[in-house]
A = this chain, B = another copy of it.
């Protein structure tokens, strides 16, 4: 038999659609000329559509997590107090970045599997009567635990206090509902390699008018992530230094696909895949890491592993062609994760569930197979029937 095809079910990088791959083969252009202006205009308009904002969405060559630095250095000054809300590994990392950059960071942690409690955040902010806290950092979707925060509710309590609300939506953007303008979010950042269906290498970030105004007078030393420079270049349909042209073409093609699907349908597809995945996982007797299923992520499902996750993933990959993700940090030996975001469809979820179930059977953890896919199919059928 030929080798089984490979299916990438990671929470990023995610599979690249053929149109996106092909777009990267286009010949190089002058990034200071008309061909780039046209590309820039289309990408800019479609990013506003995806971010749900009227503000510019800046595209930096970089990694999604570079946006953590951009968010902070443009709006805050050395020693400013920041409340870092963390529900997992990526929250922890942003917390560390803020400390390394010279801010006074206070950590508010919720146990793995829980979402942040807006009431707890409100309580902490209410106690900050002299308004020392200048910004609140939060993940939209915590990739490491498969839990989605209630950004709308959190943004509301932060806005009441007056601090800036900064949202890492690296694995949330385009997969899960987010309303940058309607929820009045000050900074929203993401990467290209998740639900935006592109290869990694781009950092995308929006700022509210309030946040951008702060960048005008802000004294933090900065160059690469400087909002003033990128905003000034944007008014001339330019970037402050050479843009990643091939990745821009990839983004153009991916955003065209998203517009065609419509963002509402993209969200609905991810919701369906999340529901299918959770139904399948439970049908094979496994437990979700997410304590409250209402806050379980529709972009990635974290599952308590019934055998060593490395062994499980190796079997699924080498014998069944499906690449699952492991746990991060403290969860490395207790969970595995099924990514279902980006260029992924319900059939991919069925295949991932089948591979997981077959792996359990091969390792003697299950007697019968079929229940997982059946349960997921039922969810799909119900959706198709409307």
B27/A8 in contact, CB under 8 A = yes
B27/A24 in contact, CB under 8 A = no
A200/B66 in contact, CB under 8 A = no
A241 proximal to B (CB < 8 A): yes
- Distance in Å from the Cβ of A123 to the closest Cβ of chain B? 30
Q: Once bound together, how far apart are the Cα atoms of A245 and B24, in whole Å?
A: 13
- Chain B residues with Cβ below 8 Å from A15 are 27-28
A65/B13 in contact, CB under 8 A = no
A119 proximal to B (CB < 8 A): no
A29 proximal to B (CB < 8 A): yes
A225 proximal to B (CB < 8 A): yes
**What are 28 pairs between A and B in contact, CB < 8 Å?**
A6-B27, A8-B27, A8-B28, A10-B30, A13-B242, A13-B245, A21-B25, A21-B27, A24-B24, A28-B199, A61-B62, A61-B66, A62-B224, A63-B224, A63-B244, A64-B241, A64-B242, A100-B222, A199-B244, A199-B246, A199-B247, A200-B243, A201-B244, A201-B245, A224-B224, A224-B225, A246-B246, A247-B247
A97 proximal to B (CB < 8 A): yes
Q: Once bound together, how far apart are the Cα atoms of A206 and B24, in whole Å?
A: 28
Q: Once bound together, how far apart are the Cα atoms of A193 and B68, in whole Å?
A: 26
- Distance in Å from the Cβ of A17 to the closest Cβ of chain B? 11
Write the chain B residue with the least CB distance to A193.
Answer: B242
- Chain B residues with Cβ below 8 Å from A48 are none
Q: What 14 new A-B contacts, CB under 8 Å, besides A24-B24, A63-B224?
A: A13-B29, A16-B246, A21-B25, A28-B193, A33-B323, A61-B61, A63-B242, A63-B244, A65-B242, A78-B221, A100-B226, A199-B244, A200-B243, A244-B244
A242/B200 in contact, CB under 8 A = yes
Q: Once bound together, how far apart are the Cα atoms of A69 and B224, in whole Å?
A: 7
Q: Once bound together, how far apart are the Cα atoms of A203 and B201, in whole Å?
A: 11
A146 proximal to B (CB < 8 A): no
Write the chain B residue with the least CB distance to A249.
Answer: B199
A102 proximal to B (CB < 8 A): yes
- Distance in Å from the Cβ of A327 to the closest Cβ of chain B? 12
State which of B33, B223, B242 has its C-beta within 8 Å of the C-beta of A68: B223
